[in-house]
């Protein structure tokens, strides 16, 4: 299915949901469940919460079925809801942390360093795990909007226009967000490149 056809297909399915066809909602869920969960997971780096938020996303899609109008890409709308919920969750966590005055060493939401299983490639696995941890931390330290923009640009392969639609800002603002985010990642992860080349 071409991209254009897929977009039209999503909108068509949503219109059918609006008309009371719950099976079409099942199809939409089937198509977008994984991208939504992966996106939220990369944003907040916690699988259980990612699933909870993804459920809330689809619940809101379902609640809005009666008033749905296909005036933009379905995925833009879907990811606008997703991003809104993820950013809200991040904001609430920050507020909570501020109130509790907790000062953890690792950023909140960063998965704890996992000890690799014993085996022939223990060292390799530990190196990979540490490297992964660095990357996660660098992503987690990005400002929220920059992080969302990078996730959509890199993993969802959205174009600037679509990211701008999700974040409700101009295309040039998106370019600027992405440029600054990648700059920041480059400086934080530069040592990974050096360690590989050494």
Partner 1 sequence: MNCPMQSHETAEILLDYCARALPADTLARMDVHVAMCSDCRQQLAAQKMIWSALDEFDASELNISSDFDRRLYARIEAEHRDPVWVRAWRSLFASGQPGAWRPAFSMMAVAGVAVLGLFLVRLPDAVSNESKSAVNAPVAISAEVETETPVKTAPLKTATVDKLDVEHLDRALEDLEMLQVLGGTGNGPGKSNAL
DSSP 113: P
Alpha-carbon distances, residue 17 vs 3, 31, 87, 152 (angstroms): 21, 14, 27, 26
Q: If we measure between CA atoms, which residue out of 113, 44, 53 comes closest to residue 81?
A: 53
Build a one-symbol-per-residue string for 137-176: x at contacts with partner 1 by CB under 8 A, - elsewhere. --x----------x---xx---x-----x--xx-----xx
User: CA 91 to CA 21: how far, in whole Å?
Assistant: 36
Tell me the torsion sign for CA atoms 16, 21, 24, 25. Answer: positive
Closest CB 100 distance from partner 1, rounded Å: 15
64 binding partner 1? (CB under 8 A): yes
Alpha helices in 45-105 (DSSP H): 47-63, 74-100
Pick one of 6, 49, 87, 111: the residue that binds partner 1 (CB under 8 A): 87
17 binding partner 1? (CB under 8 A): no
Pick one of 6, 111, 116, 185: the residue that binds partner 1 (CB under 8 A): 185
9 binding partner 1? (CB under 8 A): no
User: 81 or 146: whose CB is closer to partner 1?
Assistant: 81
Q: Can you read off the two tokens belonging to residue 79?
A: 């990811």
84 binding partner 1? (CB under 8 A): yes
Sequence-distant (6+) residues with CB within 8 A of 131 are 192
Applying CB under 8 A, the residues found at the interface with partner 1 are: 14, 26, 29, 33-34, 37-38, 41-42, 47, 51, 54-55, 58-64, 66-74, 76-77, 80-81, 83-84, 87-88, 91, 128, 131-132, 135-136, 139, 150, 154-155, 159, 165, 168-169, 175-176, 178-179, 182, 185-186, 189-190, 192-193
């Amino acid at each position: 299915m071409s991209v254009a056809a897929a977009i039209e297909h999503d909108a068509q399915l949503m219109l059918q949901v609006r008309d009371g066809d719950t099976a079409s909602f099942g199809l939409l869920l089937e198509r977008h469940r994984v991208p939504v969960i992966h996106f939220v997971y990369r944003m907040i780096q916690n699988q259980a919460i990612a699933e909870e938020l993804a459920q809330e996303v689809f619940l809101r899609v379902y609640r809005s079925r009666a008033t749905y109008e296909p005036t933009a890409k379905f995925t833009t709308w879907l990811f606008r809801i997703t991003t809104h919920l993820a950013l809200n969750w991040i904001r609430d966590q920050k507020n909570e942390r501020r109130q509790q005055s907790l000062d953890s060493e690792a950023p909140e939401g960063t998965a704890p360093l996992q000890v690799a299983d014993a085996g022939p490639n223990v060292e390799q696995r530990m190196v990979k795990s540490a490297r992964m941890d660095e990357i996660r931390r660098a992503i987690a330290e990005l400002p929220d909007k920059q992080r969302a923009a990078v996730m959509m640009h890199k993993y969802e392969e959205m174009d600037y226009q679509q990211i701008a639609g999700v974040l409700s800002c101009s295309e040039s603002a998106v370019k600027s967000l992405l440029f600054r985010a990648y700059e920041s990642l480059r400086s934080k992860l530069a040592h990974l490149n050096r360690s590989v080349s050494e």
